[in-house]
Chain A
Amino acid sequence: MSDQTLPGSPVTVGGYLARVPGVAFILLAMVVAFQIGNPRFLSITNLSNVGLQASLLLMLALPMTLVILTSGLDLSVGALIGLAAVIIATLLVAGWSIFSALAAAVALGLVVGLLNGFMISYLALPAFVVTLGTMGLCEGLALALTNGEPIGGFTPALEAFYRAAVFGIPVPVLVAAAFYGLLYLVLYRTRFGIYIFAVGGNKDAVHLAGIRANLVHMAVYVVCSVSVALSAVLLLGRTNSAHPTVAVGMEFEAIAAVVLGGTSFEKGQGWLFGTVLGVLAITVLRNGLNVLSVEPSLQVVCVGVLLIAALLIDRNRKRPVARITE
């Protein structure tokens, strides 16, 4: 921990620039290229599309950043958001109010988060296996509850919420921004945040310092699962129906976005805003390729190349170790 600056020390502009992950340069390059390719790329309509498409991935990738900071991983988020959507939709159709349905989603998130967190933290089991297991549980439950069929016909309020805009900014973008703000405060302005970095850095040392490291570790998974379960509201608004397996596979994209943003699997190094850049890079790439009508099979290759290229850039630069403070 000796190379990490202490809380409150000033951060210079140069320090900021040096910390920018390679994906930021690629993002810039993509924006320039797509704008040359199609002048409508930077239009208000398209920017709002990018915002909408990024917001959902962001809701998964931001809490995933906390998990990865603790040297962990959560593969269950994609299946969990699908299951939460199924449960909310089922309850709404059954006549529950939105708030009771949301409470049920929070309860679901708590159960899954506690299950993940307990096994990973207290039992010291590998996060990959634990969350792969809970991923199966969530996906299977969602399928079994719906018999594989989408559930629709719930209140149009969710879609109206999703489609609404304040000062021209889509609500989901505002929600994601607010969530970023919240996690920012938690991570950089509270003791809990400092503990998260510390658990990732050296859990034993945290424990020896008299902090309940296991509890902090478990809490990270609970935060992740609960926020993901609540994000199901955005998913429901977007798809206007609950698909049991709609988001299975999104966990890998969320993890890729986090790592693209410069958060590492080791030693509690990471940067929350980097995750925003990572999510934007993935979203802009897909959106831009669509706007330029690039051939579908090439689009698949491009996603892989983006991942590897961004990491190559980072490999070739010497970045200082990320700090505890922002």
Chain B
Amino acid sequence: MRNKITVTLTVAALAWLGSSHSTLADGEIVAAFTKNQVDPHFEGVRAGVEQMAKKMHATVRQYVPTKPNNITEGMSQLEDVGVTKPAVILFMPIDPKAQLPTIKRLIEGGTPIVNYNDKAGDAPYLSFVGEDDYKLAYDIAKTLFEHLGGKGNVVILEGVKGSNTGDERKRGFDAALKEYPNIKLLASQPANFQRLLGLQVMENFIQQFSDIDGVLSAADASALGAAEALKSAGRTKTAVVSINGVPEAVEAVKEGSLLAIAEFNGFKIGCVATEIGLRAIRGEKTPKRLLIPGAIITKANFAEWLVPYDKRTCPTAESYAAGQ
């Protein structure tokens, strides 16, 4: 008897889970892929997608692996989304090499795809919407080195080794280092875009090196961890810079525990990718490639980035198109 009740309840619950989503359909369905539910950057992306889709009367379905950045789950979700036949897919790769064949099959099967946030190899995408990780890293490193007067000791907190984002940002840091011969790189270790790792790697750096003037972090989370470590060691003179600009990090710029951030704006990327995707499938002409310029966020201009995602207004693709 209990079994029947359990089975009936399961069917009812699952049917409810399904229906609650499928009845919402109104206009085209946008399937948006992000890499995890942990990093607020992707929450920014999802918020941007939702806002623009609502404005353009489309419905969003979010796909996120249950384990952060899990490639096999990411593969399965791509396969499964093919079954639901969305009007357009917004896609960012967990691993371009692995996912490209599935992407190509989806496009051949007639599902248009916009590649956003980071590059996903060579396929007939409607468009690429993102930022230039190399340039962001290069610019923020120069900002730090100028602040230090062109000389001093720095350390690098890298991202995830092997990820496109992590590697490009490291490359940008290295390029800037070459231009400043009096800046000495003491050490460079991966902090995997993570807060706890950022904190612990920095704690060990503090023990190893008595004199650190600057920290280059590949992402906000590890920079915030590093700033925390510096604060509790009383090394408040060390300047930390980072890339992304999630609200928490911007608040740290306001308080002074971070010097500056190169803006890698998930919200804007989400907005513009959605707009371009929907316009393209509605038959309008859209740019093949759109790079959103990133500002340097400092104490002088931080206010814009402190606004919560749901209170922000989407920029339009047009406002960026002029410079392309």
CA gap between A250 and B73 in the complex, in Å? 11
Chain A minimum-CB-distance residue to B160: A148
Q: How far is the CB of B93 from chain A (nearest CB, A)?
A: 11
Given contacts A297-B37, A312-B6, whether A239 and B72 have CB atoms under 8 Å apart is yes
Q: Which residues of A contact B95 (CB under 8 A)?
A: 150, 239, 241, 243
Q: Does B15 contact A (CB under 8 A)?
A: yes
The answer to whether A38 touches B22 (Cβ under 8 A) is yes
Chain A minimum-CB-distance residue to B86: A293
CA gap between A87 and B14 in the complex, in Å? 42
CA gap between A286 and B21 in the complex, in Å? 16
Chain A residues 133 to 184 lying within 8 A of chain B, measured CB to CB, are 146-150, 152, 159, 163
Chain A residues 34 to 83 lying within 8 A of chain B, measured CB to CB, are 34, 36-38, 40-41, 43, 45-46, 49, 52-53, 56
Q: Does B80 contact A (CB under 8 A)?
A: yes
The answer to whether B62 touches A296 (Cβ under 8 A) is yes
Q: Does A115 contact B (CB under 8 A)?
A: no
Q: Which residues of A contact B208 (CB under 8 A)?
A: none
A interface footprint on B29-71 (CB within 8 Å = 1, 0 otherwise): 0010000010000000000000000000000011111110011
Q: How far is the CB of A294 from chain B (nearest CB, A)?
A: 5
Among B31, B73, B84, B190, the most chain A Cβ lie within 10 Å of the Cβ of B84
B interface footprint on A6-48 (CB within 8 Å = 1, 0 otherwise): 0000000000000000100110111011101110110101100
Given contacts A239-B98, A241-B98, whether A25 and B3 have CB atoms under 8 Å apart is yes
The answer to whether B80 touches A291 (Cβ under 8 A) is yes
Given contacts A295-B62, A313-B3, whether A33 and B83 have CB atoms under 8 Å apart is no
The answer to whether B22 touches A239 (Cβ under 8 A) is no
Q: Does B149 contact A (CB under 8 A)?
A: no
Q: Does A303 contact B (CB under 8 A)?
A: yes
Q: Which residues of A contact B6 (CB under 8 A)?
A: 25-26, 309, 312-313
Given contacts A45-B83, A56-B72, A303-B66, whether A33 and B98 have CB atoms under 8 Å apart is no
Q: Which residues of A contact B162 (CB under 8 A)?
A: 146-150
Chain B residues 149 to 182 lying within 8 A of chain A, measured CB to CB, are 160-162
The interface of chain A, by Cβ under 8 A from chain B, is: 22, 25-26, 28-30, 32-34, 36-38, 40-41, 43, 45-46, 49, 52-53, 56, 146-150, 152, 159, 163, 238-241, 243, 246-247, 249-250, 286-300, 303, 309, 312-313, 316-317
Query: What are 14 inter-chain pairs, A to B, with CB distance below 8 A?
Result: A25-B7, A33-B18, A149-B161, A150-B95, A150-B98, A163-B101, A238-B72, A239-B75, A241-B95, A250-B72, A293-B63, A297-B37, A309-B6, A312-B6
Mostly, the A contact residues are helix
Interface residues on B, range: 35 or more
The answer to whether B97 touches A150 (Cβ under 8 A) is yes
A interface footprint on B2-19 (CB within 8 Å = 1, 0 otherwise): 110011001111110111
The answer to whether B18 touches A37 (Cβ under 8 A) is yes
Q: How far is the CB of B1 from chain A (nearest CB, A)?
A: 9
Q: Which residues of B contact A297 (CB under 8 A)?
A: 37
Q: Which residues of A contact B75 (CB under 8 A)?
A: 238-239
Q: Which residues of B contact A300 (CB under 8 A)?
A: 66
Q: Which residues of B contact A152 (CB under 8 A)?
A: 97
Chain B minimum-CB-distance residue to A146: B162
Q: Which residues of A contact B315 (CB under 8 A)?
A: none
Q: Which residues of A contact B37 (CB under 8 A)?
A: 296-297
Q: Which residues of A contact B22 (CB under 8 A)?
A: 37-38, 292-293
Q: Does B77 contact A (CB under 8 A)?
A: yes
The answer to whether A49 touches B83 (Cβ under 8 A) is yes
Chain B minimum-CB-distance residue to A285: B14
Q: Which residues of A contact B10 (CB under 8 A)?
A: 26, 29-30, 33, 309
CA gap between A34 and B22 in the complex, in Å? 12
Q: Which residues of B contact A288 (CB under 8 A)?
A: 14
The answer to whether A246 touches B72 (Cβ under 8 A) is yes
Q: How far is the CB of A171 from chain B (nearest CB, A)?
A: 15
CA gap between A22 and B2 in the complex, in Å? 12
**Given A33-B10, A240-B100, A287-B80, 11 further pairs, Cβ under 8 A:** A25-B6, A26-B7, A29-B7, A33-B11, A45-B82, A148-B160, A241-B97, A286-B76, A293-B61, A293-B84, A296-B37
Chain B minimum-CB-distance residue to A26: B10
The answer to whether A38 touches B77 (Cβ under 8 A) is no
CA gap between A46 and B280 in the complex, in Å? 27
The answer to whether B19 touches A37 (Cβ under 8 A) is yes
Chain A minimum-CB-distance residue to B105: A163
Q: Does B321 contact A (CB under 8 A)?
A: no
Given contacts A32-B11, A240-B97, whether A289 and B17 have CB atoms under 8 Å apart is yes
The answer to whether B3 touches A291 (Cβ under 8 A) is no
Given contacts A33-B11, A49-B80, A246-B72, whether A38 and B18 have CB atoms under 8 Å apart is yes
The answer to whether A46 touches B71 (Cβ under 8 A) is no
CA gap between A172 and B67 in the complex, in Å? 24
Q: Does B81 contact A (CB under 8 A)?
A: yes
Chain B minimum-CB-distance residue to A292: B18
Among B11, B63, B190, the most chain A Cβ lie within 10 Å of the Cβ of B11
CA gap between A288 and B62 in the complex, in Å? 15
CA gap between A286 and B162 in the complex, in Å? 28
The answer to whether B11 touches A40 (Cβ under 8 A) is no
Q: Does B79 contact A (CB under 8 A)?
A: yes
Chain A minimum-CB-distance residue to B21: A293
